[in-house]
């Protein structure tokens, strides 16, 4: 790689100072030194002025090499990880080296084989670059910051190429997805606007359950799921979509879950940060997952709205808030795994481990050995920690993490890179694990087997025969020694099928 001048950063030159980056590059043309004419083919044009885009500055080091600077999160210069930009006006067979020079993190999965994503106009499916073309190292030319360099060869002159840290999942894509679900007019899918962000983007709340569970006076067992509180953690949205897709499907397991549980899902807690291309913060520079203790209605309106709803449900005697799961992506670890809380009550602590153990049986990419339980002071303002202290012993709060890069299947050492579909598959497996947790497996067979057509009087007799009294409903949990009890300490033993069986 070409040598750089090492005098600019020390001299305080704006071009060598990360603080000088105030916005994304917009159709920025890189011309050869001393050239003032029209750009020729091969004079690269960089752009990040689009939804979820991020590239703050470009410096040409040599004819073939470019230093690229991530734009920090808005109103917060500490976080510089997410990038997403386009390159055009390329020459066929033009070879380049791009150096991402101002990462705010020292540890990275780039050390373990992770590579940036790329697509182009003629090949719109995202692909990972070959790991052999990617290097991650500490660079003395950039204040000893860690730099990720990758080599690339442009092969089609008319294409526009796009590079990103991970698979993008934009606010607009999310809105189109919810619009398509709403148009299906499913009687068990409900969408409402719980609030708005600072920039007036929607905070969507989804409710997925049988309509009978929403009738006045009905008791509800609620699973509450949130995602994208950290906007650059795009795998969170794919996992969340996998959960939603499965729960609204006609799969027998999904039908049983809708009959017995109420799923409340807020898939995008930080829509402004997502839209702006931030990695961790909101528009105003707040890490929302550190403000659960006292969210402001004007500075953290989305968090404030979700917290109000959760507290309201907790105070409703007809509602049992059973689970809270906040979905994230992890930049240094493999696989999916969970963080849980530590409790003084040993029995409660042991019961909390049941769900991740079951998920480990259902999902080959989920690692129980990487799952941990803690109460670090630095995590005190997170949703998991705050709600774990607020809710009673019948509720369990987790952070679900999934790797930005890959998973390692038990018994092997090879890393399998995640795809969009693999992230969504993890979401489907999270959803089906509730069937095992609540021991609802026997009910799936009844749903799956076609029922013969009966006359009216036979239908009524069959309903009376199959419907048990409320206190013996198979939805209720098993003995305390194995599974946590619901409110009222109701118990019932049901044969538990092997949760590792495929659909």
Question: Concatenated DSSP letters for 68-91?
Answer: EEPPPBTTBTT-----EEEEESPP
For 308-316, the CB contacts below 8 A with 24+ separation are 309/194, 309/205, 309/264, 310/224, 310/387, 311/390, 313/222, 313/224, 313/264, 314/390, 314/391
The bridge status of strand 189-196 relative to strand 161-164 is unpaired
Spatial separation of the C-alpha atoms in residues 269 and 307, rounded to whole Å: 11
Which tokens sit at 381?
A: 């303002």
Is the Cβ–Cβ distance between 241 and 228 less than 8 Å?
A: no
401 has catalytic annotation: yes
Phi first, then psi: give them for residue 450, nearest 5 degrees: -60, 135
Q: Which residues contact 8 (CB under 8 A, 6 or more apart)?
A: 15, 16
Q: How many residues does the chain have?
A: 503
C-alpha closest to that of 423 among 165, 125, 166, 175: 166
Catalytic residue (choose from 65, 344, 401, 466): 401
Whether residue 232 contacts residue 165, with contact meaning beta carbons closer than 8 Å, is answered with yes
The gap between the terminal CA atoms of the chain, to the nearest Å, is 52
- CB-based contact 200:187 (threshold 8 Å): no
CB 430 within 8 A of CB 325: yes
CA distances from 173 to 6, 168, 169, 180, 323 (A): 43, 10, 7, 11, 27
- Give the separation between CA 353 and CA 130, rounded to whole angstroms: 38
Give the C-alpha separation, 283 to 270, whole Å. Answer: 9
Point out the residues that are catalytic.
401
């Amino acid at each position: 790689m070409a040598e750089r001048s090492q005098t600019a950063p020390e001299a305080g030159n704006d071009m060598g100072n990360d603080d000088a980056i105030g916005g994304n590059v917009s159709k920025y043309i890189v011309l050869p030194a001393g050239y003032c004419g029209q750009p020729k083919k091969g004079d690269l044009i960089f752009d990040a002025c689009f939804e979820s885009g991020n590239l703050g500055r470009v410096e040409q080091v040599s004819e073939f090499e470019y230093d690229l600077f991530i734009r920090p999160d808005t109103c917060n210069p500490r976080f510089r990880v997410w990038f997403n930009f386009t390159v055009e006006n390329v020459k066929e067979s033009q070879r380049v080296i791009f150096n991402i020079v101002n990462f705010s993190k020292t540890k990275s999965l780039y050390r373990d084989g992770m590579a940036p994503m790329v697509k182009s106009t003629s090949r719109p499916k995202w692909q990972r670059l070959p790991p052999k073309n990617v290097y991650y190292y500490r660079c003395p030319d950039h204040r000893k910051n860690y730099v990720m360099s990758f080599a690339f060869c442009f092969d089609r002159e008319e294409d526009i190429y796009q590079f990103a840290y991970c698979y993008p999942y934009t606010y607009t894509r999310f809105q189109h997805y919810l619009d398509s679900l709403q148009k299906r007019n499913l009687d068990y899918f409900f969408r409402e606007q719980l609030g708005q962000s600072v920039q007036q983007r929607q905070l969507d709340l989804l409710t997925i359950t049988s309509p009978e569970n929403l009738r006045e006076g009905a008791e509800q067992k609620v699973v509450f799921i949130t995602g994208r509180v950290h906007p650059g953690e795009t795998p969170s949205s794919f996992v969340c979509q996998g959960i939603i897709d499965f729960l609204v499907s006609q799969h027998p397991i999904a039908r049983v879950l809708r009959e017995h549980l109420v799923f409340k899902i807020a898939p995008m807690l930080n829509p402004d940060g997502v839209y702006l291309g931030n990695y961790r913060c909101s528009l105003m520079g707040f890490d929302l997952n550190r403000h659960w203790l006292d969210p402001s209605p004007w500075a953290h309106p989305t968090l404030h709205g979700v917290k109000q709803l959760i507290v309201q449900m907790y105070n409703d005697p007809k509602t049992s808030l059973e689970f809270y799961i906040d979905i994230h992506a992890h930049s240094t670890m493999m696989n999916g795994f969970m963080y849980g809380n530590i409790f003084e009550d040993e029995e409660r602590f042991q019961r909390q481990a049941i769900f991740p153990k079951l998920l480990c049986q259902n999902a080959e990419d989920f690692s129980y050995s990487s799952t941990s339980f803690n109460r670090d002071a630095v995590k005190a303002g997170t949703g998991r920690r705050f709600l774990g202290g607020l809710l009673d012993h019948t509720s369990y709060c987790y952070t679900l993490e999934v790797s930005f890069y890959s998973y390692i299947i038990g018994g092997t050492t090879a890393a399998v890179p995640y795809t969009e579909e693999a992230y969504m598959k993890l979401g489907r497996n999270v959803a089906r694990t509730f069937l095992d947790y609540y021991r609802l497996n026997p009910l799936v067979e009844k749903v799956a087997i076609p029922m013969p057509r009966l006359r009216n009087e036979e239908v009524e007799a069959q309903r009376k025969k199959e419907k048990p009294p409320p206190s013996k409903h198979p939805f209720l949990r098993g003995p305390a020694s194995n599974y946590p009890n619901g409110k009222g300490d109701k118990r019932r033993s049901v044969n538990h099928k092997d949760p590792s069986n495929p659909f």
